Chain A
């Protein structure tokens, strides 16, 4: 406020000049094709006019003449002096292959030219985004955003992916980036669908192990014009206390002036498992006998089947074999006349999964309207409506005998599970475990259970801009952005009472209905004053002030009924009832002021500002927490071009910023718990978790230094960034002694730091009239360390932190001086370290005379050895590299994206299951110990408390995306009465090269988590998808 006032009072009185109108046409250099939607304006002015569908424009300029600047997305900018006598000015723009142009977001209502950006930029255009369809938007971004690690949680169709930018920034706090669509913060909550009510993966009605689909899956990526990922704290500080994890700014397509154009895309596709695990092929009854347990039935099945040799049924290949076609239809239209422009789209996508009876269907519609009212007011409106239905089937952790891979891991594949039992007329019961209720036949399960999530989502936004003052050298623009994002998710689970596993929990039949209502509302008010004095020393100064009000409400309720009467599906009338209802509401308010200066012939850019936030999640709700930022960049142009022609431009940038992560919900409240009833009376008991009225946001300080360069006359561009982040006041759980009668309190008591390096290189090895070849290579790497903790070292657990199955299976550990991404687990040591009477560690000496040391699998046993929870490997990859190649020859184009993860370990508990069941495909292979087979060796080591054989290297090379497209001749298009036609073949996850034993090292049983993101436990298998698409333009 003050700052603006000071600047305002410093403005000298200005005169507005006489104006006149010029006209002209903007075309592509070479082809001469008109460029629509190019912006034509006076150099330095914020507002210009747009070209129509013929590339024509009409612009008011000062009578004395001026410099006119033309910009268009995908083209290099161009400026020209228009003299006082000139009435027309035409422009021919060159293509911007290296993407040096465009603007980047610097505030709620401000942008800056990309070449003047002072922080690292990650931007993905619509074309790059849609190389190949993905189950969720994250999939479209994978491998395209340097600095972001994008991982699939499982092969479930319909979603379930995680984006982590520059490593975890929090342990207990939110780990998701903030998603902003057209100025509106949207929900990407991971709401468990309730599978746990059947799989009993946890004791509750729902669990993060439910193959959770995070709600970004509801967005139709076809509607997206551009995605920008803000990474450093200096870039994200504009989002204050919700920004440590980065901000993903999504802009949807807008209407284009001119006659209405329609686009129709029809896709048909199919899917196949990327890899299957196979299973052990037993040769004889004697060999299979030890794995049958004490069950007489399993024994008789084995005896009957393995008369001479055992038959082999490849259960996985039979089960994960659904190639039913997937479809997608996209309709969009765009147009506008006069002061109105619109974009509308309809999308219906039906994906199928490789597991039968699984898939997802997303149907959505969007309308974006832009209306100019008079000369000063513009109003934009966007409405999006989505219905997203997913049927995820079964996968992940299971304690009920429902997860298919659990069954296949334990059941020798010697029996045809797809045969009909002549007595019951249904598929045969699982023969293992005495045919008891601890197991089931997956073919029967998947055919009869229901596990769906049905989401209805509506988002809308209104943006109003008012040009309060428009002058030759000064502009004041006011804007208001308001919007709502709300959805209702309904999870439904039904497991009929006749399922084989149903008696396992003592109740026949399970039915659950789970509902989540999410409502996000936010508003922002902005005033931007841009001064363009027109002098070389100071090109422009832009001051913006504003504020935001945000509300996020999530209301979840569920009913689970067990002990159902036959054929009854509704969740009522069971003999065991569980209900739950929780509400989380966050409210935040902020105000900010930003200053952005471009000076010295547009070579120097300086940006600084501060945002102050307060929110309902903080202990002190009325206190504002300030998040400052400062960044600067300098472009070296002429001095270098005089020295060498190889360097077009060279930019140095540096930034410092601070951003925050608000406390998790309810941590501040000192509550008393309402317990269950006793003898008809309600109860009150002390909450075991003590509220903390002093809790405050986590704070991240980040420095980023970088170089951007353009070389060889636009053939090469380079970007490199180094960052160092320190995250203070981490939320941690302070354990209270159990003898106090309370369990814990959340405090701000930790510090973690991250160092990282990111680089990207764009090459244009070939560029001729007919041929264009572009290559993009990116590399990223980071290392995190825990610097300080006010609590004892601990294993991260929680909704955001993620969970693990403990030291016997591998887990992360937060301990001072260590990397939090390290995997700890039980490994044998040669002796015991002890503690002295005061509890301090005393190092021991083993019978081998050496200090206690780790015994590796296959080593000779050391007497007196003990198992210890110790560091085994690092889950964090050494680096990630992606290669994007795009080759166009005349009407043909080929694009391929390869993603390479270098190292990074995983806890392969799927392999552990197969070994325990004596059923792994390589069980009989040779092992380091001559007396044992490989499976015996691995599981034997595990049983002796050594997890090492299951902590596996997760390196991979994936061919993530392939797109082969053909732009059909106009004659072909004409047959479909279309203006243009394009036929493409698209594929996702086409190939994976990895020595990893199970499906995919990217997977995680617990879904989106800050830590413990490496637990592979009987997931829905990875799969590749193929599509044939026809696009028609009218």
Chain B
């Protein structure tokens, strides 16, 4: 006879309690680090991070560029993206949607223009500036150089936003807390912010000593010290100022363009391909780097607009413009956009690009050739028609191999401008300029439409919408859709 006694129960509970102690008390077992991604705290504390963060800025800058080029390329009738599985990639930028009888780009659609990528970089620049400020080992000079580098990229991103959104305005501020909404500012304020940021960057670069405290990639060869990077800064500033000049900045901005060009790497006497191609490039390479997404080696959907063939001027020997010959591939399998019950949505094309032959081909950010033509624009706008024609002619003859221009000071400004725009079209083919330039000078109507009537009638969009994704989030707090003039920036 044994008795069941409370003490027996208590005794029996001891091992149970011990087991439970094992099971329940070691909360530290649950502290497993994330093996897939570095935590912010862990990464910033690492001494190699500063280089990685700087490279991250360059990576994100590079990531925005092909999207901008193909987007502006389609709208500017330079290119098509004939993606067979998703026809809306073709039709949305060219046909858009009809709202109240007006063709517009669909803010939810496939033609919304680069936006998020630019702001991703702006967020990283925001964080990078904080890292610089708090950095324990950088000297004041190094901090200044780093800041100048970051500010230059910041202004470049906002320039892309300003170029695509134009009168819609833009958001220029990154807030610490991502749920705090920054307000829209007008086009004028955006450009002023961009130009000021370029200038602040320039000041910092000038005080930035002899070297950056991080390595720049090979695309910055020749521009990888604070002093030489400053020349790149001036080149981008000149481009921004020229954009502002045609967006209300006027003569002051044109003067600023010329002034910036003066401190840039502009070489007006360039006569060789190598001299024209001096500039800054985004590098590409095979994995683990990123292959060039536009290259003919892998991209089978990127086609050129047939008008490049029709509009190419002829050299003395009767063959087309050298730039056409160098950049355009012919004889591709004929393709066109979707054919709906209302007929074709685009013309067909057999042309492609040979600008980027391999997955390691670079993509330029800005080159001397563009700077010469920018100077031509600025000279023309500031009354130096002769200088403008001279710049135009240099590019025309040495880059295009064409006979000298017939334009003289006797021609109207507009005729000279058209001359410059021809050279710019072929010289900076697929460098993100054509659509922007035609809008800047009010000449969008001159861009060719493949389909001119019926439900598939093509149009040329003047500005890009703010993406619906942005608007939907902002719509939750009333008023934040509005720009300075009270206009709804999400439904321009």
Contacts and interface: CB of A to CB of B under 8 A. Distances in A.
Interface string A672-696: 1111111111111111101000000
Nearest to B295: A506
A757 B216 CA distance: 66
B39 A738 contact: no
A506 B52 contact: no
Interface residues of B, number: 105
Given A9-B6, A527-B16, A838-B481, A681 B43 contact: no
A504 interface: yes
Contact of B37 (A576, A687, A737, A738): A687
Contact of B23 (A294, A547, A575, A690): A547
B52 A476 contact: no
B122 interface: yes
B56 A675 contact: yes
Contact of B120 (A545, A583, A688, A735): A688
Interface stretch (B144-152, B268-276, B446-454, B482-490): B482-490
Nearest to A476: B12
A670 B52 CA distance: 18
A737 B290 contact: no
Given A675-B56, A686-B127, A837-B482, A15 B178 contact: no
Nearest to A548: B23
A549 B28 CA distance: 13
Contacts of B340: 943
A669 interface: yes
**A interface bracket (residues with beta carbon within 8 Å of B):** 35 or more
A16 interface: yes
Given A737-B470, A741-B174, A476 B37 contact: no
Given A686-B123, A738-B115, A742-B178, A525 B49 contact: no
A972 interface: no
Interface in B193-227: 215-219
Interface in A648-690: 666, 669-688, 690
Interface stretch (A179-187, A360-368, A614-622): A614-622
Given A474-B4, A736-B178, A577 B53 contact: no
Nearest to B44: A672
B39 A506 contact: no
Nearest to A577: B287
B288 A677 contact: yes
A399 B38 CA distance: 34
A579 B38 CA distance: 19
Contacts of A787: none
A440 to B, nearest CB: 14
Interface string B24-39: 1011011110111111
Of the candidates B34, B38, B116, B175, the one having the most CB atoms from chain A within 10 angstroms of its own CB is B34
Nearest to A583: B35
A11 B473 contact: no
Nearest to A617: B30
B24 A547 contact: yes
A512 to B, nearest CB: 14
A84 interface: no
Given A549-B23, A739-B182, A506 B299 contact: yes
A517 B481 CA distance: 48
A640 interface: no
Nearest to B125: A741
A469 interface: yes
A741 B126 contact: yes
A737 B32 CA distance: 31
A234 interface: no
Contact of B20 (A591, A741, A839): A591
Contacts of B24: 547, 589-591
A13 interface: yes
Contact of A546 (B20, B26, B127): B20
Nearest to A670: B40
Given A587-B30, A672-B37, A685-B124, A678 B3 contact: no
Interface string B332-356: 0110000011000000000000000
Interface in A7-62: 8-9, 11, 13-16
Interface string B62-105: 10000000000000000000001100000000000001100000
Given A436-B333, A621-B27, A740-B182, 13 more contacts: A434-B333, A471-B2, A576-B298, A589-B26, A616-B32, A622-B27, A672-B43, A674-B37, A685-B57, A738-B473, A740-B178, A792-B475, A839-B478
Which 3 pairs from chain A and chain B are nearest by CB? A741-B123, A679-B217, A8-B9
Interface of B: 1-6, 8-10, 12-13, 15-17, 19-20, 22-24, 26-27, 29-32, 34-41, 43-44, 49, 51-53, 55-60, 62, 84-85, 99-100, 115-116, 119-124, 126-127, 171, 174-175, 178-179, 181-182, 215-219, 283, 285-291, 297-300, 333-334, 340-341, 467, 469-476, 478-479, 481-482, 486, 488, 490-491
